[in-house]
Amino acid sequence: MEVGHIPVLAGEVITMLAAAPGSLQIDATLGGGGHTERILEATRPDGRLLGLDADGAAIARVSDRLRPRFGDRLVVRKANFRDLATVAPAAGFSAVDGALFDLGLSSEQLADTDRGFGFRAGGPLDMRFDTSRGVPASELLATLDAAELLALFRRYGEEPKAGRIARAVVEARRTAPITTAEELAALIERVAPPNPRIPRRTHPATRVFQALRIAVNEELESLELGLTAALDLLRPGGRLVVLSYHSLEDRIVKRFIAAERRGCLCPPSVPVCVCGREPRLRLITSPSLTPGEAEIAANPRARSARLRAAERLAA
């Protein structure tokens, strides 16, 4: 395992995936490769795994580390999971036994000083997983007006002080553009400091950094597309496992599973189903799984994780 990278709920992920020898698995968010490594170990000797990541650096790191051990059992593709419907069949994974989405950032990404994912590591405010697509976060800060920034911070960060921070960004850029993670974090800490009487586990800039990253990478839209594609790829009995880290992601996952458990799309006013849509998922985790105290102590970044899993029905 690479230094600093600790996969979240690793044992629970393997159990929920029911990863068996010879099975075909998808890790839609390769990241640091911690879950990938354990899935490949659990599916020995002939199970195969397709690992996706929009971050080319993550693909290279995991390939270099795991390829010598697992050979062609590991297949990697540089792609966003929103493109899973086309990427997976092209790679020979048109029907699979399990699909994992770990929606958190890896330790390597948080420590990347070139893209500014984390305010502690610093660096240019880019935040794109794939730097060849979209616009960097610094451009959003430079071009959106106060009302647009307020809406962005509220929608994607659920930031209660969004208005104050948005106005401060607009005022600050009149003097000089905000181009680094350190500059943005310092500004937020200055205009929206934490209450010293209330214990706080996160930096005041956490929600704004989350909002910018989600917006830059279109993460919520991609998640909906990725979940739908994964479900279509699963064989009957196949497992869908999702690790989310904030309420926006978890709400999408929860609603997706609920809709696929229900099946029927007819409005309540219709006495008999006329759409003919059958349920496609059976819920496995009720309630969802969260890390225990020991795991949180060993890996504080796991504290907000929530795991939901469901099994594909024959429909």
Q: Flag whether pLDDT at 260 surpasses 70.
A: yes
Confidence of residue 112 (pLDDT cuts 50, 70, 90): low
Q: Flag whether pLDDT at 135 surpasses 60.
A: yes
CATH of 110-217, one of 3.40.1710.10, 1.10.150.170, 2.40.33.20, 1.10.260.40: 1.10.150.170
Bridging pattern class, strands 306-312 and 234-244: antiparallel
What are the tens digits of pLDDT across the range 238-254? 999 999 999 999 999 99
Phi-psi region of 280 (alpha: psi -120 to 50; beta: other; left: phi over 0): alpha
Sign for the CA dihedral angle at 89, 95, 97, 98 comes to positive
Give the pLDDT of residue 108.
67
Those residues whose C-beta lies under 8 Å from the C-beta of residue 202, and which sit 6 or more positions away, are none
End-to-end CA distance of the chain: 39
- The arithmetic mean of pLDDT across residues 144-166, rounded, is 96
Contact status, residue 136 vs residue 179, Cβ threshold 8 Å: no
Give the pLDDT of residue 177.
94
Lowest-confidence segment of 33-37, 54-58, 210-214 by average pLDDT: 54-58
Confidence of residue 2 (pLDDT cuts 50, 70, 90): very low
- The Cβ of residue 237 has, within 10 Å, a number of other Cβ atoms equal to 13
Q: Flag whether pLDDT at 175 surpasses 70.
A: yes
- The Cβ of residue 64 has, within 10 Å, a number of other Cβ atoms equal to 10
Give the pLDDT of residue 269.
81
Domain span(s) for CATH 1.10.150.170 in the chain: 110-217
Confidence of residue 111 (pLDDT cuts 50, 70, 90): low
What homologous superfamily does CATH list for 10-109+219-312? Vaccinia Virus protein VP39 (3.40.50.150)
Average pLDDT, the chain: 91
Q: Residue 125 burial (CB < 10 Å; 0-12/13-18/19+)?
A: buried
Q: Flag whether pLDDT at 77 surpasses 70.
A: yes
% residues pLDDT > 90 (the chain): 74
Measured distance CA(315)–CA(275) in Å, rounded:
14
Give the pLDDT of residue 63.
96
Backbone φ and ψ of 262, nearest 5°: -75, -45
Q: Flag whether pLDDT at 202 surpasses 90.
A: no
Measured distance CA(155)–CA(158) in Å, rounded:
6
Give the pLDDT of residue 105.
73
Give the pLDDT of residue 301.
84
* Nearest residue to 220 (alpha-carbon basis) of 259, 188, 255: 255
- The arithmetic mean of pLDDT across residues 90-101, rounded, is 98
Q: Flag whether pLDDT at 3 surpasses 50.
A: no
What are the tens digits of pLDDT across the range 267-289? 888 888 888 788 999 999 989 99
Give the pair of three-digit tokens for residue 156: 């994607």
Phi-psi region of 122 (alpha: psi -120 to 50; beta: other; left: phi over 0): left
DSSP label of 192: S
Give the pLDDT of residue 283.
97
Measured distance CA(97)–CA(258) in Å, rounded:
21
Domain span(s) for CATH 3.40.50.150 in the chain: 10-109+219-312
Confidence of residue 232 (pLDDT cuts 50, 70, 90): very high
H-run or E-run covering 242: strand 234-244
Phi-psi region of 108 (alpha: psi -120 to 50; beta: other; left: phi over 0): alpha
Q: Flag whether pLDDT at 134 surpasses 90.
A: no
Give the pLDDT of residue 196.
73
Q: Flag whether pLDDT at 116 surpasses 90.
A: no
Contact status, residue 153 vs residue 164, Cβ threshold 8 Å: no
- Between residues 295 and 119, the one the model is more confident about: 295
* Nearest residue to 212 (alpha-carbon basis) of 167, 151, 145: 151
Confidence of residue 68 (pLDDT cuts 50, 70, 90): very high
